[in-house]
Amino acid sequence: MAGRFAPSPTGDLHLGNLRTALVAALLARTTGREFIIRMEDLDLVTASSDFEDRQIEDLAAIGVTTSRQIVRQSERFELYRQAISQLTDSGDAYPCYCSRREIRAEIEAAARAPHGNLPDGAYPGTCRDLTASQRAEREAEGRQPALRLRTSGETYVVNDLVAGRFVGGIDDVVLARSDGVPAYNLAVVVDDAAQGIDQVVRGDDLLSSTPRQMHLQHLLGLPTPEYAHVPLVLGEMGSRLAKRDGAITLRELLKRGETVNSVRDAIAQSIGCQPVKSDSDPFAEWSAHWSLARLSREPMYLSAFDLAVDS
Ligand code: GLU
């Protein structure tokens, strides 16, 4: 049994990421699970080992550590390829030659038609039933296909530990990009199962992707973990955190005169932890009293942190 935090090392973690990480580590600890950190560095163009080191340092500064070796997705392509072959062999995958722009145009054109409970930006299925000669035509144009999952309107129910019951449809998600890089939804499902993860804690922007992942688990014969999607920290206008919100990473806050402990304690307080009495091991102190019921189900505004966050 294990829980995990799985950041993408493409920048410094912001307060929202750090807060979710602390929930993940505490929920694993308080439910008797191991805690794993996984680096989701599939996209080698944007991921860097420098950011990986900084993220691990920042997580440790707020008390989030692991005793297990840190796993990198970039080192596991072979595992993902096996899963992709399995889905191709079972007829659950097909090549897709659409460019992003073509997909966007199709989605806009279809926007007037009802589309049930599909996630936003769902692929309209353009390449799903191409004939062999239509495929050959596109190949002859020099188009490199991505690989997509063949779906038929399935719906999944997520009984989320934080968000409650969520019902979501699935679409023909990308399994492998046209450059051969495995896609996020595929890799996450393979890794969660391979690492024995039965508890997934992450930001609630990924709740709508969970039905897709449950479908992949079903097709690959893998177990479905329990899910806890943590409400995001929002900027002043209710927007997702962005650099313009100012001083939202630990390092920026330190430059503004906050201390590691003040940031750590503000994050802990924001998820319902008791203030720590001594400095011996705050994580152990928090885990003695904390439970998920203490976490608010509402999104949190950046301004609600007692920190020098405003720009
Ligand atoms: N790597 C993803 C992110 O940083 C999280 C994926 C997950 O937890 O499933 O947004």
CATH number, domain with residue 117: 3.90.800.10
**CA triple 93-99-101, angle to 5 deg:** 135
Q: Would you call 176 exposed, middle or buried from its count of C-beta atoms within 10 A (0-12, 13-18, 19+)?
A: buried
Helix, strand, or coil here: 141?
coil
Q: What is the pLDDT of residue 277?
A: 83
84 lies in the same domain as 140: yes
Alpha-carbon span 122 to 128, nearest angstrom: 13
Domain boundary among 184, 199, 220: 184
What percent of the chain clears pLDDT 90, i.e. is strictly above it?
Answer: 81
Residue 311 in any domain: the answer is no
**Phi/psi of residue 222, each to 5°?**
-110, 155
In terms of pLDDT, which residue wins out, 117 or 185? 185
**pLDDT exceeds 90 at position 278:** no
67 lies in the same domain as 85: no
Instruction: For ligand 1, atom 4, name the residue with the nearest CA.
Output: 7
Q: What is the pLDDT of residue 114?
A: 58
In the chain, DSSP assigns E strands to 2-5, 34-39, 71-72, 93-96, 146-149, 155-160, 164-169, 174-176, 197-203, 226-230, 233-234, 300-301
Index of the ligand 1 atom closest to the CA of residue 213: 9
104 lies in the same domain as 152: yes
**pLDDT exceeds 60 at position 304:** yes
Domain boundary among 125, 157, 184: 184
67 lies in the same domain as 105: no
107 lies in the same domain as 136: yes
Average pLDDT, the chain: 93
Residue 204 in any domain: the answer is no
32 lies in the same domain as 107: no
90 lies in the same domain as 57: no
Question: Percentages helix, strand, coil for the chain, rounded to the nearest 5?
Answer: 40, 20, 40
Ligand 1 pocket mutation, candidates 20, 40, 42, 162, criterion most atoms within 8 A of CB: 40
Owner of token pair 């690959």: 220
Index of the ligand 1 atom closest to the CA of residue 192: 9
pLDDT tens-digit series, residues 123-158: 989 999 999 999 999 999 999 999 999 999 899 999
Cβ-contact 302, 248 below 8 angstroms: yes
pLDDT tens-digit series, residues 223-241: 999 999 999 999 878 888 8
Neighbours of 177 (CB within 10 A): 15
Index of the ligand 1 atom closest to the CA of residue 188: 9
6 lies in the same domain as 82: no
Cβ-contact 210, 276 below 8 angstroms: no
pLDDT tens-digit series, residues 42-60: 988 888 999 999 999 999 9
Q: Which residues line ligand 1 (CB under 6 A)?
A: 6-8, 40, 188, 202, 206
**Phi/psi of residue 250, each to 5°?**
-55, -45
Please name the amino acid found at residue 159: N
Residue 85 in any domain: the answer is yes
44 lies in the same domain as 84: no
What is the residue range of 136's domain?
A: 78-184
For range 193-209, the mean pLDDT: 97
**Tally of domains within the chain:** 2
6 lies in the same domain as 30: yes
Index of the ligand 1 atom closest to the CA of residue 209: 9
Ligand 1 pocket mutation, candidates 206, 224, 240, criterion most atoms within 8 A of CB: 206
| Terminal-to-terminal C-alpha distance of the chain | 42
Residue 251 in any domain: the answer is yes
Residue 134 in any domain: the answer is yes
For range 101-108, the mean pLDDT: 87
Q: For the chain, what's the residue count?
A: 311
Owner of token pair 């420098």: 50
Neighbours of 148 (CB within 10 A): 24
Ligand 1 pocket mutation, candidates 202, 208, 210, 214, criterion most atoms within 8 A of CB: 202
Q: What is the pLDDT of residue 161?
A: 98
Residue 156 in any domain: the answer is yes
Cβ-contact 166, 153 below 8 angstroms: no
Alpha-carbon span 15 to 10, nearest angstrom: 15
Domain boundary among 157, 184, 211: 184
**In which band, very low, low, confident or very high, does the pLDDT at 113 lie, cut at 50, 70 and 90?**
low
pLDDT tens-digit series, residues 155-184: 999 999 999 999 999 999 999 999 999 999
For range 202-223, the mean pLDDT: 97
Residue 213 in any domain: the answer is no
CA-nearest of 132, 138, 168 to 151 is 168
CATH of residue 49's domain is 3.40.50.620
Residue 288 in any domain: the answer is yes
Cβ-contact 310, 246 below 8 angstroms: yes
171 lies in the same domain as 239: no
